[in-house]
A = this chain, B = another copy of it.
């Protein structure tokens, strides 16, 4: 297992430590999986992905870590209505890959879309500002999801 090779082992290392948390093997593994994952992983998904290489990282730790990461804002916790929380890496404070979701209510397929995002985000920023002032909220985040039925599910009828 090569170490150094740059600034360390993932840019998040610093951010995480900076928040006063200790960096552990398990946490690193979780962060690593999340940062590379395509989809939207559940705690168990992560457990499974990690388990072969880190057999001694327990599910409990995964839940705990996800909570922390979520608090710190490094990970988004999402609910797509399939009975378990799903997590996705937040890459940066509002990284290049900011996107929203299209959710099929039949088969729970999720599509990340970035189309139209620019207009949306612009409007959202305004709204955020307005709402923040009016309701004295310190707004930190937003969630946008469209629900519908995907083509495959439509065809099945």
Check if A147 sits within 8 Å of B151, measured CB to CB.
no
Assess whether A3 is interfacial by the CB under 8 Å rule.
no
By a CB distance below 8 angstroms, the chain B residues around A149 are 137-138, 140
Pairwise interchain contact A143-B135, C-beta atoms closer than 8 A = no
Chain A 80-98 interface residues, beta-carbon cutoff 8 Å to B: 81
By the criterion CB–CB under 8 Å, are B141 and A146 in contact?
yes
Q: Which of B81, B127, B140, B146 contacts A128 (CB 8 A)?
A: B146
Contact A102 B79 (CB under 8 A): no
Instruction: Flag whether A144 is at the interface (Cβ < 8 A).
Output: yes
Please determine whether B134 and A150 come into contact, CB atoms closer than 8 angstroms.
no
Question: Taking A142-B145, A143-B147, A144-B143 as contacts, is the C-beta distance between A137 and B105 under 8 angstroms?
Answer: no
Query: Which of B79, B115, B128, B134 sits near A130, CB closer than 8 Å?
Result: B115
A48 touches B (CB below 8 Å): no
- Please tell me if A116 contacts chain B, counting CB pairs below 8 Å: yes
Which chain A residues numbered 119 to 141 have a C-beta less than 8 Å away from chain B? 119-120, 123, 126-128, 130-132, 134-141
A104-B137, A145-B143, A151-B137 given as contacts; is B119 within 8 A of A123 (CB)? yes
**Roughly how many angstroms separate A39 CA and B141 CA in the complex, as a whole number?**
22
- Please, which residues of chain B bring their CB within 8 A of the CB of A145? 142-143
Measured between alpha carbons, how far is A131 from B117 in the docked complex, in Å? 11
Tell me if A131 and B113 are in contact (CB < 8 A).
yes
**Quick one: given A137-B104, A149-B138, are A116 and B130 in contact (CB under 8 Å)?**
yes
Is A111 an interface residue, CB under 8 A from the partner?
Answer: yes
